[in-house]
Structure 1
Amino acid sequence: MTQQQTTADQPMVVVEDLRRSFGSGAQAVHALRGVSFEAHRGRLTALKGRSGSGKTTLLNLVGGLDAPSGGRILLDGTDLAGLDEEGRLAMRRDRIGFVFQSFGLLPVLTAAENIGVPMRLRRLPTAEREERVRTLLALVGLADHANQRPGELSGGQQQRVAIARALANEPALIIADEPTGQLDSETGHAVMELLRAVVRSEGVTALVATHDPNLMELSDQIVELKDGRLVDQP
Structure 2
Amino acid sequence: MVVVEDLHRTYGSGASAVHALRGVSFSVPRGELVALKGRSGSGKTTLLNLVGGLDAPDAGRITVDGLELGSLGESGLLELRRDRVGFIFQSFGLIPILSAAENVGVPLRLCRTDPREREERVALLLALVGLADHAEQRPGELSGGQQQRVAIARALANKPALLIADEPTGQLDAETGLAVMELLRAVVRSEGVTALVATHDATLLGLADRVLELGDGEIVEHGAAPALHA
TM-score by length of 2: 0.96
Task: Give the letter for the 2:27 counterpart.
Answer: E
CA positional deviation for 1:214: 0.9
Secondary structure of the residue aligned to 1:87 is helix
CA distance in 1, matches of 2:97, 2:177: 25
AA matched with 1:169: N
Note the alpha carbon deviations across 1:34-90, whole angstroms, 9 max, x for none: 001111111110010010000000000000000001111000121100000000000
Cα distance in 1 between the residues matched to 2:103 and 2:221: 40
Post-superposition CA distance 1:178-216 (Å, at most 9, x none): 000000000000000000000000000000000111111
- Give the unaligned 5+ runs of structure 2: 224-230
Shift in Å at residue 99 of structure 1? 0.3
Moved over 3 A (4+): none
2:118 counterpart residue number: 129
Q: Which residue of 2 aligns with 1:56?
A: 45
**Displacement, 1:25?**
2.3
What percentage of aligned pairs have identical amino acids? 75
**1:95-114 superposed matches below 5 A:** 95-114=84-103
Tell me which amino acid in the other structure corresponds to 1:140.
V
* Post-superposition offset of 1:27: 2.2
Residues 47-86 of structure 1 mapped to structure 2, 5 A cutoff? 47-86=36-75
In the alignment, the residues of structure 2 paired with residue 183 and residue 196 of structure 1 have an alpha-carbon distance, to the nearest angstrom, of 17
Deviation digits for residues 131-158 of structure 1, max 9, x if unmatched? 0000000000000000000000000000
SS of 1:130's partner is helix
Q: 1:202 is matched with which residue: 172, 183, 191?
A: 191
C-alpha RMSD of the superposition: 0.7
* Corresponding letter in the other structure for 2:161: A
Match of 1:88 in 2: 77
Tell me how many residue pairs correspond in the alignment.
Answer: 223
Residues of 1 paired with 2:222 and 2:187: CA distance? 26
Does the CA-based 8 Å contact 2:2-2:62 persist in structure 1?
A: yes
* Matches of 2:39 and 2:16, distance apart in 1: 22
Indicate the residue corresponding to 2:147 in structure 1: 158
1:146 aligns with 2:161: no
